[in-house]
Amino acid sequence: MPGSAVEANQATAEKVLVFDFGSQYAQLIARRVREHNVYCEIVRHDLSAQRIAELAPQGIIFSGGPASVYQAGSPKCDPQILRLGIPVLGICYGMQLACEALGGDVTSVASREYGRAFCRITAHDPLFQGLPDEMDVWMSHGDQVTAVSSDFLPLAATATCPIAAVRHQELPVYGLQFHPEVTHTPCGAKILANFLTDVCGCHGRWRMEDFAADAIRRIRRQVGQQRVICGLSGGVDSAVTAALLFKAIGSQLSCILVDNGLLRKDEEEAVIREFTSHFQTDLHVVKAEEKFLAALSGVTEPQEKRRRIGHAFIECFSAEATKIADAHFLAQGTLYPDVIESGAAPDGPAATIKLHHNVGGLPDELGFELIEPLRDLFKDEVRRLGLELGLPSEIVWRHPFPGPGLAVRCLGEVTRERLQTLREADAIVVEEIKAAGLYAKTAQAFAVLLPVQSVGVMGDARTYADAVAIRCVDSEDFMTADWSHLPYEVLGRISTRLINEVPKVNRVAYDISSKPPATIEWE
């Protein structure tokens, strides 16, 4: 991966690889490892032992997965990887795969375990150093290892799973039937820490300040004296990308902010203020509200909204970029989950989960060379980097905002008047969440303008006005989310202010659906 953190950062010489066997928790495992200051990457499960030897990781983690190891076509790994002398920790499917490859038996059992289970440690081992003899763990399996050879030592058991943890007595191979990476396994972080330090010998040298310094050196080496263009959106990813570039190349950076008329209240002013006064960048603001509103006129279908917004953005950005002399590079705020899910990582999971807007850049005909300095980071790491670079906390911790902006929170037709209603409503929701001290505790909070009107009474007059829905969710990774249980008094203040202060709004509803089955955004 040219220009990646793996190539340049000496701290990442101490790295761990997560083999992805289709687990929904593969990214979570990588994040948990990084929380212990050990660099971690997710790789394909079918990498050869030779390739792994070249990458020289300190340790390997086999993820879980939905398949059964005894089924034809189930994902396998090169069994010679287990004999490289590199410590391996198999989790759930990963444990079953490792045990089967080394002579064990895996079968479907009648007593499946899904959810919380009570686990007893039956043999002392460095993996469980400092842990109680009995602990709660999180299980999710219908298969289990039912027999192992004499080369293995069982380490733990539950009431229905006699081999809940195991280690090979000659090879540094461990297995856990439960999931240490989820918060439902309270001692899971300690188990992973033991594996990283006591088994793999990691020292936890990966620090965000080291990443920042190395990234700045890489950017300077790649860019030389050329000019770089970076698109700003008001979101944390683009802001941190721009801040990192400014630290690296200063006046060689030009930023473009496309004001599409779909931004949050005062968002354009905040971006201009930060990147002209604080970072003093060459900032180009494209006033394009009329263009976007014309493109969205009469459109109500969500995907068509997104398509038209994307097309208009490319036109505006491209036209402005051609005005910037000597621009050779285009910087994007691509994150590691974007790279994984798009199948763009050279050693990453092979399957493309989705085509991501941040992977691939603008059309090739623009002739830019891409710079993606955040492509090795997760969202929480990007926020830490932003603080390290001196970005204000209100930008770093700002809640996520969809690429199409308020257009996908304005259900039905998008007009200037409806956007203004939504913008004011959204600002009130955020103000009250912050005033209650709940903004940092919630993952996302916003207003949605519904395409319906309802009857109401204001004063002595009958009204027929807009309805607004409030959406507030709690989430760690945005893959799943639960609705936030806001205090009634907070919801009451939001409702009162919306009806009193936002013209044409006479009804407020609170969205109490979780993801799944609902999504966080409404469109």
Residue 172 shares a structural domain with residue 235: no
Residue 407 inside a domain? The answer is no
Last residue in a domain, options 199, 220, 244: 199
Residue 426 shares a structural domain with residue 306: no
Res 7: pLDDT: 41
Instruction: Say if CB 523 and CB 413 are below 8 A apart.
Output: no
The tally of domains found in the chain comes to: 3
Q: Considering the chain, what percentage of its residues have pLDDT values greater than 70?
A: 90
Round the average pLDDT of the chain to a whole number and report it: 87
Last residue in a domain, options 199, 216, 249: 199
Q: Give dist(CA 26, CA 405) in Å, integer.
A: 29
- Say which CATH number the domain at 274 has: 3.40.50.620
Residue 402 inside a domain? The answer is no
Residue 314 shares a structural domain with residue 356: yes
- Core vs surface per residue 124-141: b (16+ CB within 10 A) or e: ebebbeebeeebebbbbb
Residue 61 shares a structural domain with residue 176: yes
Tokens standing for 71? Answer: 């089924």
Residue 260 shares a structural domain with residue 281: yes
357 annotated active-site: no
Summarize pLDDT for 409-422 with one digit per residue, the tens: 999 999 999 999 99
Residue 406 inside a domain? The answer is no
Residue 191 shares a structural domain with residue 273: no
Q: Which of 14, 41, 113, 181 is labelled catalytic?
A: 181
Range from 13-22, 129-138, 451-460, 494-503 carrying the lowest mean pLDDT: 451-460
Q: Which of 141, 179, 356, 399 is labelled catalytic?
A: 179
Residue 162 shares a structural domain with residue 233: no
3-state DSSP assignment of residue 480: coil
Summarize pLDDT for 183-193 with one digit per residue, the tens: 889 999 999 99
- Say which CATH number the domain at 490 has: 3.30.300.10
* DSSP class of 429: H
Residue 351 shares a structural domain with residue 429: no
How many residues can be counted in the chain? 523
Residue 392 shares a structural domain with residue 454: no
388 annotated active-site: no
- Say which CATH number the domain at 112 has: 3.40.50.880
- Which helix (H) or strand (E) segment holds residue 9: the answer is none
Question: Structural domain of residue 480, as residue ranges?
Answer: 415-510
Q: Which of 92, 119, 230, 255 is labelled catalytic?
A: 92
Summarize pLDDT for 282-313 with one digit per residue, the tens: 899 999 999 999 999 999 999 999 999 989 98
Summarize pLDDT for 264-280 with one digit per residue, the tens: 998 888 888 888 877 78
489 annotated active-site: no
Assign 365 a pLDDT band (cuts: 50, 70, 90): low
Assign 200 a pLDDT band (cuts: 50, 70, 90): very high
* DSSP class of 410: B
Instruction: Say if CB 181 and CB 29 are below 8 A apart.
Output: yes
**Residue type present at position 286:** V
Residue 259 inside a domain? The answer is yes
**Range of 297-306, 327-336, 387-396 with top mean pLDDT:** 297-306
Q: Give dist(CA 223, CA 244) in Å, integer.
A: 13
Res 41: pLDDT: 87
Residue 57 shares a structural domain with residue 126: yes
Summarize pLDDT for 28-65 with one digit per residue, the tens: 898 899 999 998 988 989 999 999 999 999 999 999 98
